[in-house]
Amino acid sequence: MKGFWKKVGAGLLLSGVALTIAACGNSGDSVSGNSGGSSDQTEIDIFQFKVEFKDQFEKLAKEYEEKNPDIKINVETVGGGSDYGAALKSKFSSGNEPNIYNIGGPEDVNMWVDSLTDLSDTESAKQALDGTLTGATKDGKVLGLPYNIEGYGVLYNKEIFEKAGIDASTIKSLDDLETAAKTLDSKKSELGIDAPFALAAKEQWITGLHGSNAFLNAEFDNDVMKAYESKTVEFKYGDQFKKYLDISNKYSVQPTNSLDYSQQIEQLFSNGKVAMTQQGNWVYPTIEGINKDLANKNIGLLPIPIDGVTEGTIPVGVPMYWGVNPNASDEEIKASKDFLDYLYTSDEGKKIVLEDFKFVPAYKGYDTDKISDPLSKDVYTYYTDGNTTGWVFMGYPAGWGEQTLGAEIQKYVAGDASWDEVVKSAQDKWADERK
């Protein structure tokens, strides 16, 4: 796998688009830390996007404070349906700059370069897996530390598949996926499901970023910099992208443009009302909180394949990076680095990362046999077996994935635009942004 990471580099290691989204989940704000703070304490403000682990992260912050009484940590989480990028810009423009915050990849690094500390001297940077720092490295400086490794595909309910007589291991191609959807649709009543799929087309990041990436990564050879530098987008595998959307939409709970993340995961999938939906291992804590039996025994990931090109694979990458603000006191910068090193390289931190956060670690020195949830195990298996493709959507023009392609897909699934119109609009906008 070492050569694999070096080959694809940043293409596998980026998520979201210029901080305009959070991977998924419901938005929320939260603060952790002791109320007030003595004058001899060093205070760290953390502004982060991942709502799925905010409770566990706040707990970690409190425990760190107890071990380090000279440190006070404030955690604010903005993600899910909220625009993290806009909120971060607001923080900085108001003068309320956080000490630790999140960046995506090359575009974010360029945007925030004057507000990012070189983290090359941290133990975390030294322990990061080969390739995982690529997306946040500029001019030889490590400007961000990876959260973790994540993967996504078609999430499926094993129990429903078994009742329907479907062998998930045989689903390698789009034709296989369509056959499974037809079988499930024909048995909806006896299976007790509303539909085979839940296509959350209301969430433009699901379709315009994650969905498209499964088909555009091959066009750009799994290389985010090729996408980032390209003046045009061909949609070389656009017909297969259309086929995937058609399957997902035709066999979904309707109307798909009204389905958001909460309905998709919390209401439908977690309660066994659908058998499949596009998501990643980050949704495990949400599902576990609703249906432990489903979460621990009956969920898995299927590929989003390009027939004959990337069959049997899932996209895997780093969802976001931690940046440290240099516009603070030396004490705050050091405290910020120490906290991140504690999180990823101490024995206590490693245990929390694996067992509480349910992360697939992006760092060396972890007992990966202790990866606890089945979705993360699936991701790690795909990864170690070499059955992964890239995350190139951070190479898209800013806003293109959601505001252009995601919005056009909404028109398509509603019957208000043809697929050719979707592709033409997306191509024109890409070219216009890259002039």
Is pLDDT at 356 greater than 60 in this prediction?
Answer: yes
- Mean pLDDT on 296-311: 91
DSSP symbols for 87-154: HHHHHHHTT---SEEEE-SHHHHHHHGGG----TTSHHHHHBPTTTTGGGEETTEE--EE--BEEEEE
pLDDT number for residue 39: 63
- Coil vs helix vs strand at 360: strand
Average model confidence (pLDDT) across the chain: 89
Is pLDDT at 349 greater than 60 in this prediction?
Answer: yes
pLDDT number for residue 85: 85
Using an 8 Å Cβ cutoff, are 395 and 228 in contact? yes
pLDDT number for residue 33: 40
Using an 8 Å Cβ cutoff, are 49 and 108 in contact? no
- Residues 39-69 have pLDDT tens digits of 689 999 999 998 888 899 999 999 999 999 9
Segments making up each domain of the chain, as ranges = 42-149+318-365, 151-317+390-434
- Mean pLDDT on 359-384: 90
The answer to whether 42-149+318-365 and 151-317+390-434 have equal CATH topology is yes
Is pLDDT at 256 greater than 70 in this prediction?
Answer: yes
Give the CA count within 13 Å in the CB-facing half-sphere of 350: 15
pLDDT number for residue 216: 96
pLDDT number for residue 104: 84
Q: Comparing C-alpha atoms, which of 87, 78, 84, 76 is closest to residue 21?
A: 84
pLDDT number for residue 12: 38
Tokens encoding 321: 């990076």
Please state which CATH number belongs to domain 151-317+390-434.
3.40.190.10
pLDDT-derived band at 318 (thresholds 50, 70, 90) equals confident
- Mean pLDDT on 215-229: 89
Is pLDDT at 23 greater than 80 in this prediction?
Answer: no
Phi, psi of 45 (to 5 degrees): -100, 120
**Which CATH number is correct for 42-149+318-365, 3.20.20.60, 1.10.1060.10, 3.40.190.10, 3.40.1110.10?**
3.40.190.10
Q: Which residues make Cβ contacts (< 8 Å) with residue 417, sequence separation at least 6?
A: 408, 411, 425
Is pLDDT at 432 greater than 60 in this prediction?
Answer: yes
Using an 8 Å Cβ cutoff, are 27 and 78 in contact? yes
Partner residues linked to 302 by β-bridges: 154
Element housing 293 (H / E): helix 292-297
pLDDT number for residue 69: 96
- Residues 152-209 have pLDDT tens digits of 999 999 999 999 999 999 998 999 999 999 999 999 999 999 999 999 999 999 999 9
Q: Determine the longest span between alpha carbons in the chain, in angstroms.
A: 67
| Continuous H helices in 166-236 | 174-186, 188-191, 204, 212-219, 224-229
Give Cα separations from 365 to 340, 369, 378, 393 (angstroms): 15, 12, 20, 29
Q: Comparing C-alpha atoms, which of 252, 207, 230 is closest to residue 406?
A: 207
